[in-house]
Amino acid sequence: MRARYDHVNVKPAIRPDPEAVTVRAPAKVNLQLSVGPARRDGYHALVTVYHAVSLFDEVTVLPSDQMAVAVTGEDAAQVPGDKSNLAWRAASALARAAGLRGAAVRIEISKRIPVAAGLAGGSADAAATLVACNELWRTGLSAGELGELAGGLGSDVPFALVGGTAVGRGRGEQLTPALATGTYHWALAFGQAGLSTAQVYATCDRLRAARTVAGDQAKPATEPELSHPLMTALRSGDPARVGPLLANDLQPAALSLQPDLRRALAAGREHGALGAIVSGSGPTCAFLAKDAAHARDIAVALTGAGVCRAVARATGPVTGAAFVPGGQRA
Ligand code: ATP
């Protein structure tokens, strides 16, 4: 299946500052996350429905004689400032692909997407950096070529480039657009502490193995399949139809690692959320609301219940990595 990058914008309409390029990229929630057995390469076969929401990191790249990453925002201390940063790796991968030996850049990340939260914030930064450096260095890679590079950087990076609502297969990197209509309103509850994606997958495997030993075949790790009822509901644009179909195979593992998340999910349901789900590997909980006012009510209720570190409201779907008009520099 071919990835589709037709609408990724690789050129800004105007570039007011030749010395800096700013690109923002969105967080994602997974409307469906079906996890198959672990593959030989250690990854799990997935079928997922990604949905980009209006919570963005902004990445500014500037010419420099050496590579550097600077991160600002509440979670900045949890983000590496060296070559292990996914944004740094993205810039290096682009320089290699374009044959730019020794190319360097200063990367400034304004971080609003919580870290290790199941929202793919690092992937968003990598996607934004690919688009920003492609413009700064005038390397001229096509959207499809950037998509290929993105898939090599991480499973969620190609989706952060395209955004919208899309089906991911393989490790999640093989994308096809999903026919979704309407705007969906979300309340997001951020956890007190992050969760390691690797640990959540390992826990998922362990829980499944334990169930198999106990003879419980309720949820064996079979090849994952796309939920056609969910796809039909997304085409209808009706959140009341979508809500009950949200599904995440990693949720039991995330709940076993952070049992308090049950309280957050219950609080959202009590306040009429149409769907309540752990996003990706967690611990962020995503609540689908009837409309904008309902999303605000759920967010207020979650805050009042004291079940999370912070809440945010967001709408989806939004587009993937996009130039910020005026290319801000604070
Ligand atoms: P994953 O993408 O693995 O599912 P996630 O979405 O839950 O993870 P991220 O915020 O992407 O979480 O961060 C995962 C880890 O990646 C962090 O703990 C951090 O150490 C590392 N990391 C590397 N680069 C970045 C970056 N630019 N932003 C955030 N985290 C980064």
Model pLDDT for residues 20-37, shown as the tens digit of each residue: 999 999 999 999 999 998
Closest to 277 (Cα-Cα) out of 287, 267, 269: 287
Is the confidence at residue 151, as pLDDT, over 60?
yes
Answer whether 34 contacts ligand 1 (Cβ < 6 A). no
Q: Is 174 helix (H, G, I), strand (E, B) or coil?
A: strand
Cβ-contact 32, 48 below 8 angstroms: yes
Question: Which residues neighbour 114 within 8 Å (Cβ) at sequence distance 6 or greater?
Answer: 74, 75, 121, 190, 194, 284, 310
* Coarse DSSP helix, strand, coil percentages of the chain, rounded to the nearest 5 percent: 35, 25, 40
Q: State the pLDDT confidence band at 39, using cuts at 50, 70 and 90.
A: confident
The enclosing H or E element of 143 equals: helix 143-153
| DSSP states of 270-304 | HTT-SEEEE-TTSS-EEEEESSHHHHHHHHHHHHH
Q: What's residue 330's pLDDT?
A: 41
Give yes or no for residue 119 having a pLDDT over 60: yes
Please report the pLDDT score of residue 49 as a whole number. Answer: 98
CA of 214 to the centre of ligand 1 (A): 35
Mean pLDDT of 293-312: 96
As a whole number, mean pLDDT of residues 209-232 equals 78
Comparing CA positions, the residue from 249, 224, 209, 219 lying closest to residue 118 is 249
Ligand 1 atom showing the smallest separation from residue 116 Cα: 12
The whole-angstrom separation of Cα 256 and Cα 3 is: 34
Residue 153 C-alpha to ligand 1 middle, in angstroms?
12
Q: Which helix (H) or strand (E) holds 27?
A: strand 21-38
For ligand 1, the distance from its centroid to the CA atom of residue 190, given in whole angstroms, is: 15
Structure confidence at residue 236 (pLDDT)? 98
Planar angle of CA 239, 245, 248, nearest 5 degrees: 120
Q: Is the CB of 249 under 6 A from ligand 1?
A: no
Between CA 124 and CA 131 the distance in angstroms is 11
Tell me how far apart the alpha carbons of residues 20 and 22 are, in angstroms, rounded to a whole number: 7
Instruction: Give CA–CA dist 179/165, Å, rounded.
Output: 8
Is the CB of 86 inside a 6 Å radius of any atom of ligand 1? yes
Ligand 1 touching residue 3 (CB < 6 A)? no
Instruction: Determine the pLDDT at residue 18.
Output: 67
CA 30–ligand 1 middle distance (angstroms): 16
What amino acid positions are annotated as catalytic residues?
A: 28, 156
The predicted pLDDT at position 8 comes to 81
Q: Is the pLDDT of residue 1 over 50?
A: no
Pick from 8-22, 23-37, 187-201, 202-216: least confident: 8-22
Ligand 1 center–CA 212 separation, angstroms: 32
Helix axes 121-136 and 86-97, enclosed angle (nearest 10): 40
The ligand 1 atom at the shortest distance from the C-alpha of residue 126 is: 27
- State percent of the chain over pLDDT 90: 85
Residue of the CA atom closest to atom 26 of ligand 1: 122
Q: Is 156 in the pocket of ligand 1 (CB under 6 A)?
A: yes
Nearest CA to ligand 1 atom 31: 122
Q: Whose CA is nearest to atom 25 of ligand 1?
A: 122
State residue 185's pLDDT score. Answer: 98
Q: Is the pLDDT of residue 217 over 80?
A: no
Q: What is the mean pLDDT of residues 90-119?
A: 96
- Do residues 129 and 70 lie in contact, with contact meaning Cβ atoms separated by under 8 Å? no
Q: Best mutation site among 24, 29, 57, 79 for ligand 1, i.e. most ligand atoms within 8 A of its Cβ?
A: 79
| The model's pTM | 0.93
For residues 47-66, b (16+ Cβ closer than 10 Å) or e, as one string? bbbbbbbebbbbbbbbeeee
**Residue range 172-193: mean pLDDT, rounded:** 96
127 lines ligand 1 (CB under 6 A): no
* pLDDT tens string 244-257: 999 999 999 999 99
What mean pLDDT, rounded, does the chain reach?
93
Least confident of 55-69, 213-227, 264-278: 213-227
- Give 46's pLDDT tier (boundaries 50, 70, 90): very high
Confidence check: pLDDT of 97 > 50:
yes
| Length reported for the chain | 330
Q: Are strands 21-38 and 322-323 parallel, antiparallel or unpaired?
A: antiparallel
* Mean pLDDT value of segment 90-107: 95
80 lines ligand 1 (CB under 6 A): yes
Q: Give dist(CA 298, CA 100) in Å, integer.
A: 49
Give the whole-angstrom CA distance, residue 164 versus residue 33. 16
User: No. of H helices and E strands in the chain?
Assistant: 10, 12
Degrees (nearest 5) of the Cα angle 260, 203, 229? 80
Look at residue 218 and tell me whether its pLDDT is greater than 80.
Answer: no
